[in-house]
Chains A and B, each alone.
Chain A
Amino acid sequence: MRWIWFCCCLLLLTTLKVQADSAEQLFARYEPALLQVRVLEKASGAKSSIGTGFVLEQPNLLVTNYHVVSEAVLFPDKYQLEYLAVNQQKGALTVLAVDVVNDLALVQTDYQPEARFSIQTEKPVQGATLYSLGNPHDLGMILVPGTYNGLQKYSYYPRIHFTGAVNAGMSGGPTVDASGKVVGVNVASAGNQLGFLVPADALQRLLASYQQQQNDADLPKQIAQQLFDSQQKMFSEILAANWQLKDFGPGKVPDEVVPFIRCWGESNVEKSKDQLKKVAAFCSQGEEIFLSQQFSTGRIEMQFEWLHGAALHPLQFFNRYQQNISSANADNQASKEDVTSFECQHKVVQQANGQHAKTIFCVRAYRNFAALFDVLYLAASLDHQQQGVISHFTLSGVSQENAQAFARKFSEAVLWQ
C-alpha cells in the first residue's frame, strides 16, 4: 500500500514538472528541428507532395512517414526529396531505411539544428497531454495539443489514439510529451479530433535495425521482406485461432475470428417487397499498408450473403442468384504496373462434408515483390432449390501457403446443410 502511495506522489511530481515546461517553450525550443519534407518532380521541379519530418539526436537522421516519401523511394528516377527548414534553408534528403508496415522512413539530412528530438522509451499514461507538431496544408509549423488515449482498439497495427487535430501535411511530424520527447509519429486522422500516431517503439525498432545493417540500402528488398514478414505474422495468428462460428441462414459462417477482424451485417428482410430476401454480413481487417498512391495491401475481407426466395421458382431463384455473383473484385487498390491480371478457376466443388458449391478462386501476383499475391474466393452453395449462401473473401499481399491454408479453413468453416 505504501508503495502505491509512493508511486502516486512520484506521478504528481512528474506532472508538476511537466506543467512547468509550457507549450510555448516547447514549440520555441523544437521548431528549428522540424523540417518540411517535399517530394519534387524532377522534370518540372514542382512539389508533388509535402509532409513533415523531425531531426533525431542521432547524427544526420530525419524521421518522417513512408507515405510522404514513397514516390521518391519507388520512382527515384522521377522524383527527388528536398527539405525546407524554418530558417528557409533548403537541402537534399536521401531515404536510408523504411518500415512500410508502420509507415516510417529514416532519411539522411545535412541539416544541423541546435535542439534535436529524442525518443521516449516509456508509455504515456492515459489522458496525458501530448503535443503534435507539423505543417498542415503548407500553412507553416504549428503545435496542436491533445490527449493520449492509449492504443487504438481492435487495430492490428498498433496505433496511438490521439485526441487532437492531425491534418494533412502534418504526416511525419512528431508528437511529443510535455518533456519534449517523441512518443509517436503523426500518421493519420479520422476527422473531428481523431488522430493516429505510430508508437515510438516502432521507430525505436526501425532505428535499431538500421544501425545493425547500415550497408543494406536496397529499399525494395527491405519492403518486400517487411510485407512478407507482416503477412506471415498476421496469418499465423488467424490460422492458429479457434474460429468462432455464428448462425447464418440455413447454416453457419465464421464470425470475428480474431480481435482485429470486425464484422457488420444488414438485410432487406423487413423493409423490401422484393421476393428475394438477402441477409449479408461483412468482416474485415480494414487497415491497409500504404505502398504508393495507386497501391495498397494488407487487407482481409470476408463477406457472406444468404439469399432466399420461397415464392420464387427454382429457375427464377437461380437466375437472380447468378446475378449476385456476377462481379467481384479485389478490395485493395492496385494498378497494372503493380500487379498481374487475375488468373481464375471456377468449378463446382464437392466439399469433404458433402456440400456442393460453385467455387471461384482468383490469384494475381505482385510485380515488384516476389511471393506475394492478392487472392479472391467466391463460393455459392448449390444444395438448395430456393436459397443459397454466398461466401466470399479477398486477401491482399499474402503468400501462397497462407492463402491456401486460409482458403481451406474458410471453406470448411462455412456450412449450409
Chain B
Amino acid sequence: MAIIIEVLNKQHKVTERHKFSQHRVALGRAYDNDVILYDKHICPHHAELVQDEQGQWLLRDLASMNGSYLQPKQPLTEAQPLASGQLCWLGEQAVRIYDDSHQVVPAMPFNPLEQLLLRCGHLGMILLLLLFVVLEEVFHLWLSAPEQQQAQWSRSLANLPLLLLVLTLWPAVLALWSKINQHEARFLPQLGITFIGLSVLAVWQGLMVILNFSFDGAAAINWLQEGGRLLIFTLLLGANFYLAMQVSTGKKIAMAFGLALLLSVQSLGLGFWFDESRQLAPKFDNSLLPLNFYLNSPVSAEDFAAQNNQLFETAAKARQEQD
C-alpha cells in the first residue's frame, strides 16, 4: 500500500505532494532523504515513516533538535502510529499523511456563477468599460469647466490616468490576496467586475439626476438613489470577494454588505451631523435641467399656493413644540 505525503505551508495549503511505494520514507534537509525539506529548523535527518508488519505506518523522530509532533507541544519520544489524513509537524513544518485508499471529495461541477464572473475578465469588454468610465469623467469635466478655463481642463485631464490607476488598485489588491491564498490571482476578472460596477454606478447616478429633477427632489427618489447605490456596491464587492476568498458564502455576503454600507454612509456625508451652522438655513432641492428632462407634469400655481398654506400650518405647529 503506497503512502502519500503532502508538504504544507503555514496556511496549511499543499506545496508539494509525494507518493512512495516502499516501507520506509526518510524526511529531512539532507539530500539523501526521500522527502527533502528546506525549513531551517529541520535536522538533516529529522524523522522517518516506517510501515510495520500489519501495514500500519508509524512516525519516528530521529533525535532531532526541534522534535516531531502529532499533538502540539508533545514531542515524540517513540514511534507513533498514524491515521490516514493525520497532520504531523517536523519542527514547524506541517506534513499530512494519506493512504492511497483514502477517500477524496467528489468532483465539483462547474459553478455557473463563478464561470460568469470569470467571463468578466474579457479584455475587449474591460477596454470598452474603461473607455466608458473615462468618457463619463470627461463629460463631467465638460459640464462644469467651460472652455476658457483651459488650465483647469488640462489639469483635470492629466489627472485621468491617475484616477484609472487608483481604480485598478482595488482589483490588484484582491488579486494579490487571492494569489497568496489560492494560487490564482484572477486579476482580469476582478478588474472587469470593478469596471462593470463603476459603469453601472455612473448610469444609475445619471438616471437618478433625471428622476430627482422630474419628481422635484422627492425624498423617495433620494432613498431610491441611496438604496440603489448600496445594492450596486454590495453586488460589486460581493462578486469581488466571491472570486478572491475561500470563506463561506454567508461570510462573503456579510463582508460585502458591511463594506458597501460603510462606503454608502461615507458618501451620504458625515458633515450632515456635524455642520450645526447650516441647521437654520433652509434645505431645498435645487436640481435644474432643461424642461424636456421633466418627466412629470408640473403643478399649477394654485396647487402650489395651496401647498404653501400647509407649510405655514406645519411651521405654526413646530412653533408650539418648544424644546
Binding site for B on A (CB under 8 A): 273-276, 309, 311-312, 314-316, 318-322, 325-330, 334-336, 339-352, 356, 358-367, 370-371, 373, 376, 378, 380, 382-383, 385, 388, 400, 403-404, 407-408, 411
Binding site for A on B (CB under 8 A): 142-144, 146-148, 216-217, 279-291, 294, 296, 298-301, 304-305, 307-312, 314-316, 318-319, 322
Q: Contacts A344-B311, A350-B300, A363-B312; is A325 near B288 (CB within 8 Å)?
A: yes
In contact, B286 and A350 (Cβ under 8 angstroms) = no
In contact, A363 and B315 (Cβ under 8 angstroms) = yes
In contact, A404 and B305 (Cβ under 8 angstroms) = yes
Q: Which residue in A275, A336, A408 is a CB contact (below 8 Å) of B305?
A: A408
Please indicate the chain B residues that have their CB under 8 angstroms from the CB of A403 in the complex: 312
In contact, A316 and B146 (Cβ under 8 angstroms) = yes
When C-beta atoms are compared, the residue in chain A nearest to B314 turns out to be A343
In contact, B301 and A349 (Cβ under 8 angstroms) = yes
For the complex, give the distance between the alpha carbons of A90 and B279 in Å: 44
Q: Which residue in A344, A349, A350 is a CB contact (below 8 Å) of B283?
A: A344
| Sample of 26 A–B contacts (CB below 8 Å) | A273-B148, A275-B147, A315-B289, A316-B143, A320-B146, A322-B288, A326-B286, A342-B283, A344-B311, A345-B307, A347-B307, A348-B298, A349-B304, A350-B298, A356-B291, A358-B286, A358-B287, A358-B288, A360-B285, A361-B304, A363-B311, A363-B314, A373-B312, A373-B315, A382-B294, A400-B309
In contact, B288 and A321 (Cβ under 8 angstroms) = yes
B192 to chain A, nearest CB (A): 30
Please indicate the chain B residues that have their CB under 8 angstroms from the CB of A273 in the complex: 148
In contact, B290 and A315 (Cβ under 8 angstroms) = yes
In contact, A347 and B299 (Cβ under 8 angstroms) = yes
When C-beta atoms are compared, the residue in chain A nearest to B148 turns out to be A273
In contact, A411 and B301 (Cβ under 8 angstroms) = yes
Q: Contacts A315-B290, A408-B305; is A343 near B315 (CB within 8 Å)?
A: yes
A408 to chain B, nearest CB (A): 7
For the complex, give the distance between the alpha carbons of A339 and B318 in Å: 10
B4 to chain A, nearest CB (A): 68
Q: Which residue in A318, A340, A366, A370 is a CB contact (below 8 Å) of B289?
A: A318
When C-beta atoms are compared, the residue in chain B nearest to A386 turns out to be B290
For the complex, give the distance between the alpha carbons of A362 and B283 in Å: 9
In contact, B142 and A348 (Cβ under 8 angstroms) = no
When C-beta atoms are compared, the residue in chain A nearest to B310 turns out to be A345
In contact, B298 and A334 (Cβ under 8 angstroms) = no
Closest 10 CB pairs of A and B: A342-B282, A365-B315, A365-B319, A362-B282, A322-B288, A350-B298, A340-B318, A363-B311, A348-B298, A400-B312
In contact, A341 and B289 (Cβ under 8 angstroms) = no
For the complex, give the distance between the alpha carbons of A313 and B216 in Å: 23
For the complex, give the distance between the alpha carbons of A382 and B294 in Å: 10
In contact, A350 and B308 (Cβ under 8 angstroms) = no
A326 to chain B, nearest CB (A): 5
